[in-house]
Amino acid sequence: MTPPKKIEDLDVLNKTGIVRVDLDAVLDDEVEPRKNLRLLVIKPTVDYLFQKGASSLILIAHYGRPEGKVVPELSLKSLVQPLKDVLERNIFFIDSLNFDEIMRLKEEKKGNQSVFLLENLRFWPGEESNDINFAKNLASLSDFYVNEAFASSHREHASIVSLPKLLPSTLGLRFEKEVENLSRLFDSQERPVVVIVSGTKKDKLSYLDGLSKIADMVLIGGRFPDYLPDDSIYRRDNRFLVARLNPDKEDITIHSIEDFEREIKRAKTIALIGPIGKYEEEGHRLGTKRVFEAVADSFAFKIAGGGDTIKAIEMFGITSKFDWISVGGGAVLEFLTKRSLPGIESLSN
């Protein structure tokens, strides 16, 4: 695989660029914009591209599941002000893919290093169906493409895998650091490697076999133990430690918490992906609190990923104790098990 072009090698002088960003969780997040990680990671790349002489940038992103229809409550228009606050630049909203209208707006703002925000990509069915014609329409608006959407890059959607093949393309500054830090788990010399995977989405269980190939021990919490039958191979394989759940299934037992803490204490490298229980409620918070704090207090190299993981880390005031906090959840699991993502492959080919 040919490595993606570095952002510093991209010719951006006096050109318009499309920057694919992650905004999916921002509208659901109660965190103040200037503290929102998914907004904050956009700024260094935007600033860098303008410093290199880009004339204007078009931010593109998705939100929710409108299924190719216009759903007003899923519009990105409400993010104009939060983006202004974080990027410290004027943001001009584009609510359609009317080529003539966009070109007119770009010409009007020419020379001002303007930032445009395009409406929710999923309002057009071509985004999720990976329609090449939809990708071509997007490409016609720009001279180059930058992927700063790590958390969405495990999806084979038009703006992730087809669009970058039509333009000079690269990874954003934050995306490059995601790859660099997560790659430390591959063939790590700092062993044992422990991966803690939890949550409620059953499809994440498909990553367990892949995780066991990079980890010495995979700790399984959240609702996942409930999905694994008593005769599951994961309950018999000594590379996995499956927690036991309390009767209400909203947290793991005290005994399982202690088992997790024991493995964490031995670890030299740790990946933490997903809260251990229903941490939002005080009565179900103990597992998440103790396990997360055990990881934070470890001397291991430690990374964490996923929206709820970040919220819990912030709740417990332990953010600064992690070596890397990823904006991705499912994308982290995909990258760790496959050592790449569709969004990276599309830049490499």
Q: Would you list the DSSP string of 169-192? A: EEE-HHHHHHHHHHGGGTT-SS--
CB atoms within 10 A of CB 28: 9
What residue segments make up the domains of the chain, in order of their start?
7-174, 181-338
Nearest to 185, CA basis, from 155, 225, 153, 217: 217
Calculate the average pLDDT of the chain.
92
The pLDDT value recorded for residue 38 is: 84
Q: Which two tokens stand for residue 282?
A: 């005080």
The pLDDT value recorded for residue 35 is: 76
Residue 1 has pLDDT above 60, yes or no: no
The pLDDT value recorded for residue 109 is: 67
The pLDDT value recorded for residue 34 is: 73
Residue 30 has pLDDT above 70, yes or no: no
Please say whether the structural domain 7-174 has been given the CATH code 3.40.50.2300.
no
d(CA 145, CA 137): 13
Residue 236: C-alpha distances to residues 188, 211, 233, 239, 344 (Å): 25, 16, 5, 9, 35
Residue 4 has pLDDT above 80, yes or no: no
Residue 290 has pLDDT above 90, yes or no: yes
d(CA 210, CA 191): 17
Give residue-wise pLDDT tens across range 33-71: 677 888 999 999 999 999 999 999 999 999 999 999 999
Q: What is the pTM of this model?
A: 0.91
Work out the pLDDT band at 273, boundaries 50, 70, 90.
Answer: very high
> In this structure, what DSSP letter does residue 245 have?
B
Give residue-wise pLDDT tens across range 327-337: 998 999 999 99
181-338 folds as: Rossmann fold (3.40.50)
Which residues make Cβ contacts (< 8 Å) with residue 280, sequence separation at least 6? none
